[in-house]
Amino acid sequence: MQVPSPSVREAASMYGTAVAVFLVILVAALQGSAPPESPFPYHIPLDPEGTLELSWNVSYVQETVHFQLLVRELKAGVLFGMSDRGELENADLVVLWTDGDGAHFGDAWSDQKGQIHLDAQQDYQLLRAQRTREGLSLLFKRPFGTCDPKDYLIEDGTVHLVYGILEEPFQSLEAINVSSLQTGLQRVQLLKPNISIPALPSDMRTMEIRAPDVLVPGQETTYWCYITELPDGFPRHHIVMYEPIVTEGNEALVHHMEVFQCAAEFESFPHFSGPCDSKMKPERLNYCRHVLAAWALGAKAFYYPEEAGLAFGGPGSSRFLRLEVHYHNPLMIKGRRDSSGIRLYYTATLRRFDAGIMELGLVYTPVMAIPPQETGFVLTGYCTDKCTQLALPPSGIHIFASQLHTHLTGRKVVTVLARDGREKEIVNRDNHYSPHFQEIRMLKKVVSVHPGDVLITSCTYNTGDRKLATVGGFGILEEMCVNYVHYYPLTQLELCKSAVDPGFLQKYFHLVNRFNSEEVCTCPQTSVPEQFASVPWNSFNRQVLKALYSFAPISMHCNKSSAVRFQGEWNLQPLPEIISKLEEPTRHCPASRGQSPAGPTMVSIGGGKG
Amino acid sequence: MQVPSPSVREAASMYGTAVAVFLVILVAALQGSAPPESPFPYHIPLDPEGTLELSWNVSYVQETVHFQLLVRELKAGVLFGMSDRGELENADLVVLWTDGDGAHFGDAWSDQKGQIHLDAQQDYQLLRAQRTREGLSLLFKRPFGTCDPKDYLIEDGTVHLVYGILEEPFQSLEAINVSSLQTGLQRVQLLKPNISIPALPSDMRTMEIRAPDVLVPGQETTYWCYITELPDGFPRHHIVMYEPIVTEGNEALVHHMEVFQCAAEFESFPHFSGPCDSKMKPERLNYCRHVLAAWALGAKAFYYPEEAGLAFGGPGSSRFLRLEVHYHNPLMIKGRRDSSGIRLYYTATLRRFDAGIMELGLVYTPVMAIPPQETGFVLTGYCTDKCTQLALPPSGIHIFASQLHTHLTGRKVVTVLARDGREKEIVNRDNHYSPHFQEIRMLKKVVSVHPGDVLITSCTYNTGDRKLATVGGFGILEEMCVNYVHYYPLTQLELCKSAVDPGFLQKYFHLVNRFNSEEVCTCPQTSVPEQFASVPWNSFNRQVLKALYSFAPISMHCNKSSAVRFQGEWNLQPLPEIISKLEEPTRHCPASRGQSPAGPTMVSIGGGKG
- Whether chain A has a CB inside 8 Å of the CB on B516: the answer is no
Residue B23 has pLDDT above 50, yes or no: no
Tally Cβ neighbours within 10 Å of residue A427.
21
Identify the segments of chain A with pLDDT beneath 70: 1-38, 517-525, 562-563, 586-610
Q: Which residue has the higher pLDDT, B588 or A67?
A: A67
* Distance separating alpha carbons of residues A58 and B286, to the nearest angstrom: 74
Residues of chain A neighbouring B554 (CB-CB closer than 8 A): none
What's the pLDDT band for B520 if we cut at 50, 70, 90? low
Burial of B420 from C-beta contacts in 10 A (0-12 / 13-18 / 19+): exposed
- Whether chain B has a CB inside 8 Å of the CB on A587: the answer is no
C-beta of residue B474 within 8 angstroms of C-beta of residue B289: no
| A378, amino acid identity | V
C-beta of residue B262 within 8 angstroms of C-beta of residue B287: yes
Percent of chain B with pLDDT over 90: 65
Q: Is A534 helix (H, G, I), strand (E, B) or coil?
A: coil
Residues of chain A neighbouring B514 (CB-CB closer than 8 A): 507, 510-511
CA distances for A435 relative to A81, A154, A270, A470, A479, angstroms: 21, 19, 30, 16, 11
Residues of chain A neighbouring B121 (CB-CB closer than 8 A): 591-592
pLDDT at A255: 85
What's the pLDDT band for B73 if we cut at 50, 70, 90? confident
* Distance separating alpha carbons of residues A381 and A367, to the nearest angstrom: 12
Least CB-CB distance to A515: which of B507, B550, B590? B507
Residue B67 has pLDDT above 70, yes or no: yes
pLDDT at A148: 73
**Continuous segment of H or E residues that includes residue A311:** strand A308-312
pLDDT one-digit tens code per residue, B125-182: 899 888 888 899 999 999 998 877 778 999 999 999 999 999 999 988 899 999 999 9
C-beta of residue A53 within 8 angstroms of C-beta of residue A45: yes
C-beta of residue B548 within 8 angstroms of C-beta of residue B504: yes
Cβ contact (<8 Å) for B593 and A598? no
Residue B2 has pLDDT above 50, yes or no: no
Q: Is B434 helix (H, G, I), strand (E, B) or coil?
A: coil
Residues of chain B neighbouring A145 (CB-CB closer than 8 A): none
Cβ contact (<8 Å) for B539 and A550? yes
Q: Which of B223, B328, B436, B450 is catalytic?
A: B223
pLDDT one-digit tens code per residue, B377-393: 999 999 999 999 999 99
Dihedral sign (CA B1, B3, B8, B11): positive
- Whether chain A has a CB inside 8 Å of the CB on B538: the answer is yes
Residue B75 has pLDDT above 90, yes or no: no
**B160 catalytic residue (yes or no):** no
**B405 catalytic residue (yes or no):** yes
C-beta of residue A379 within 8 angstroms of C-beta of residue A335: no
Beta A356-362 vs A495-500: how paired, if at all?
parallel
* A residues 414-433 lying closer than 8 A (beta carbon) to B: none
Average pLDDT over every residue of B236-263: 92
- Whether chain A has a CB inside 8 Å of the CB on B280: the answer is no
Q: Which of A43, A117, A328, A405 is catalytic?
A: A405
Contacts of B152 (CB under 8 A, 6+ apart): B81, B82, B83, B84, B91, B92
pLDDT one-digit tens code per residue, B468-497: 999 998 777 899 999 999 999 999 998 999
Residues of chain A neighbouring B551 (CB-CB closer than 8 A): 538-540, 543
- Whether chain A has a CB inside 8 Å of the CB on B592: the answer is yes
- Closest chain A residue to the Cα of B503, Cα to Cα: A515
pTM for the structure as a whole: 0.79
Give how far B544 is from chain A: nearest CA, Å.
6
The DSSP letter of residue B541 is H
C-beta of residue A513 within 8 angstroms of C-beta of residue A394: no
| A452, amino acid identity | G
- Closest chain B residue to the Cα of A598, Cα to Cα: B592
Smallest Cα–Cα separation from A27: which of A111, A139, A116, A113?
Answer: A139
Beta B397-405 vs B377-383: how paired, if at all?
unpaired
- Closest chain B residue to the Cα of A540, Cα to Cα: B547
| B580, amino acid identity | S
DSSP per-residue codes, A364-432: S-TTSEE-TT-SSEEEEEEE-HHHHHHHS-TT-EEEEEEEEE--TTEEEEEEEEEETTEEEEEEEEETT
CA distances for B277 relative to B223, B239, B280, B281, B285, angstroms: 8, 29, 8, 7, 11
